[in-house]
Chain A
Amino acid sequence: MIKLNNIYYSYYQKFSALADVGLAIGSGEKVAVIGSNGSGKSTLLQIIAGLLFPSKGDYYFHDTAVTESALKEKNFLRFFRQKIGYVFQDSDIQLFCPTVIDELLFGPLQIGLSREEAMDRSIEILQMLKIENLKDRPTYMISGGEKKRVALGSVLTMNPDVLLLDEPTNGLDPRTQVFLLELVLSLNEAGKTIVIATHDLSLVSELHSRVAVLSEEHRVEKVGTADEILYDEELLLKVNLIHEHIHYHDGQAHSHLHSHYLFHKH
């Protein structure tokens, strides 16, 4: 469904963000793109979302080349935007309507649904995300976790086939993280393709997805199953996703590789 061939992207024609990236994602798959800060995860997601265009390389969605020119065609623009939903890392950026319900209604109205159908969808999503009480609340008067739910809801009302989630659990409390994770897994079971950019290895482990590792040189270092990647200490050290650290246990200092979740062996 999604095919990226030899993708290059640089900011200001100077700072490389992606170099020779190739990745194929099938329908209904769940894929985690992992890498350290600045490795190009968000840029890759924005290219898949058709928000940025590669300086070199090809991107195909359902065998159609996604280019700036193709996205100026009304039919393809509508098809593409309806098929791919992008949830930004910073929910504040994404929420631009006066109230929560306006946020949920924005997408369905853009794709030409009737007001009634758009409202029905929005109410159903409010219920699914357990935020019915926030319906008429201005988006700047809700908490970070609630903003994340609204941001996700604003995309889900468009019923996309592909959900791109940029660092979805960043800055959320553990309960909201679990809620979000369960929701993402359910959506995947329901047939949605999930692509998550993250450096949270425990999230990758819980998702148990296919994993693409981006190096600090902005290349795809390895693609494999969650187990293949998460137990490859050498790879994770190389791409700067784990490090050795010192801490205390029972009053005694000792050191081991971070992350806790996978390498804390006693």
Chain B
Amino acid sequence: MKSNIPPFLLSSFNPAHTRGGGRADISYLDKGIRSFAALFTEGYALWELSSRRSFLHDLDARIKIVFWMLLIVVISLKRAVLPEAAIFIFMFTLAALCRLNLIAFYKKVLMLGFVFGFLISFPSAFNIFVPGTVMLPVITLSRMHDFWIYHIPQVIGITDSGISLVSLLTLRVLNSVSVSFLILYTTPFTDIVKALKVFRVPDTFLIIISMTYKYIFTFAHIVSDMYLAKKARLAGSNDSKEAREWIAGRIAFVFKKTQLECEEVFKAMNARGFSGDIRLYHHRDLTGRDWEIGLVLFAATVGCLVL
């Protein structure tokens, strides 16, 4: 065998400089892959967070899912800022009682509320879209303009009704996101999926959701390993064009792997007696404590509705 070894393998590389030479750039695509790989850490953190103990953590997932649905309906029905603000305080109290990390929790909630609530509804604060008394003039034109169905007033500015509309929409988003995160942070994902049976969601659909969730992590793992494998052979900077080509190739590979995995999983299901019908293990029975807390949450939700 030794005689077969190519001569170049018998020599060793000894560069003149082993340090310096400037910084090796990491392309933004590499950074993106690294962030994608961070999905594990987040998934693990979420699982750990949802497996702690508190009154909401210990509550049966079905009660939490019903509470979540009811509160989302109430949040959508309220048409005034004050009740929405009251719901926001209620959510804050629940998050505090569950001993969640309020800073981390509200960092996410406020970020989503800002993007999907405030930014999206902000144009409606102007009197071009919602008529009202101008509180803060922004532009003054020489005269008003009318064309087709649009009316551009002479003074364009933020109106009182606009402010209240933006506040209402932003609070709605904040509240919906708060309650959703509250449930996610206090309930393991597997329990949430099983609890959906309350709404007569078919077992087949539930198992598809569970499998999808699981395979997101499986494929995040593959992507992360592929990135390490590439990093191990990358001795210089990687320009964005190469990174894009590599990613395109890897997307095709993951797609192919997904197809194969799908076939294998189906075979494994068949081997364990799958015949088209899926029967999931049923939940434990609701305890007296579940009913008590459920009633309190229900009363609080009704209270929010009548505010």
Contacts and interface: CB of A to CB of B under 8 A. Distances in A.
Contact of B19 (A64, A187, A190): A64
Interface of A: 12, 14, 46, 49, 51, 62, 64, 70-79, 81-83, 85-86, 88, 90, 92-94, 96-98, 106-107, 110-112, 121, 124-125, 127-128, 140, 154-156, 158-159, 161, 182-183, 185-187, 189-192
Contacts of B231: 51
Contacts of A78: 15, 21, 235-236
Given A75-B20, A158-B233, A189 B222 contact: no
A29 B231 CA distance: 25
Contacts of A186: 1-2, 4-5
B24 A73 contact: yes
Contacts of B230: 96
Please classify how large the interface on chain B is, using the bins under 10, 10 to 19, 20 to 34, 35 or more. Answer: 35 or more
Contacts of B1: 182-183, 185-186
A73 B232 contact: no
Contact of A72 (B15, B24, B225): B24
5 contacts: A73-B23, A77-B235, A78-B21, A127-B4, A128-B4
B241 to A, nearest CB: 14
B5 A81 contact: no
Interface in B129-179: none
A182 B3 CA distance: 12
A161 B11 CA distance: 9
B101 interface: no
B232 A110 contact: no
Given A14-B48, A51-B231, A121 B249 contact: no
Interface string B1-20: 11011101111110101111
Contacts of A183: 1
B99 interface: no
A46 B231 CA distance: 11
A207 to B, nearest CB: 14
Contacts of A70: 19
